[in-house]
Amino acid sequence: MTIIEVKTGKSKRVDVVPVNVEGLKILTKKRYFFSWKKEKAHTQLYKLCIVGEDDILGVMALVDVPGDRRMEIKLLVSSKENVGKEKMYDRIAGCLVGFACKESVKRYGDLACVSLKPKTELREHYRNKYGMIDAGLQLCVEGLSLIKLINKYLI
């Protein structure tokens, strides 16, 4: 799993792991936009770091819905310096979405699915970027599109 340094075009290997209590303290609203303590109460949080480094470049709140055999992305953010035109690294969000796909496949195999309830304004972008399909108010990805996301971001 790699992200790209925009300035140099160099790839950096990254890892996604659960956020522990110590990690939660680092996730300030100033740099990571939201109150992650609140999210932690009802989701599993994951952080993305460059291999061998502690700095958190992205965070994701994921919910397992075993009854529907799917994982739902409740919230995902890249750290402040990785948003917008001046961002340092590319592919942070993609790698986290790819990780969610992997977790879903690990649990549910061919029935795996990743879903989200997007803000209306972003719907079309998620469809194009991640190959998600309309499922009423939600978007979801499964089957071949899920395989493609895993191959693009994880392998």
Partner 1 sequence: MNAKEIMNKYTTKELADAFVLSSNLTSKQKKQADAELKIARTKTQSEMADKDRLVLKLMQLKFQIEDYLKSESFNPKFTFSYFLKEYVGILNKKRKYFAREINIDETELSQLINQHRLPNDNIMVRLEIHSNNSISAVSWCKLVEKEKEHALKTNVSLRQKEKKYVTNKLTVHIR
**Residues at the site binding partner 1, with contacts judged by CB under 8 A:** 29, 33-34, 60, 68, 70, 73-78, 82-85, 87, 90, 92-93, 97, 102, 105-106, 108-113, 115-122, 125-126, 129, 133-138, 140, 142-144, 146-147, 150
Q: Exposed, middle or buried: residue 127 (CB in 10 Å: 0-12, 13-18, 19+)? A: middle
Kindly state the smallest distance separating residue 152's Cβ from partner 1, in Å: 14
Residues forming beta bridges with residue 11, ordered by sequence position: 4
- Residues 21-30 as b or e (16 or more Cβ within 10 Å = b): eebeeebeee
Shorter beta-carbon distance to partner 1: residue 10 or 65: 65
C-beta closer to partner 1: residue 55 or 110: 110
Kindly report the number of other CB atoms within 10 A of residue 122's CB atom.
12
- What is the closest distance, in whole angstroms, from the C-beta atom of residue 106 to partner 1 in the complex? 4
CB of 117 to partner 1, least distance (A): 5
Name the minimum Å distance from CB 29 to partner 1: 7
Least distance in Å: CB of 139 to partner 1? 9
Are 112 and 68 spatial neighbours (Cβ–Cβ below 8 Å)? no
Crossing angle, helix 123-130 and helix 92-108, to 10 degrees? Answer: 70
Separation of alpha carbons 92 and 55, rounded Å: 13
Using the minimum distance from each CB to partner 1, give the nearer residue, 53 or 134: 134
Measured from the CB atom, is 23 or 94 closer to partner 1? Answer: 94
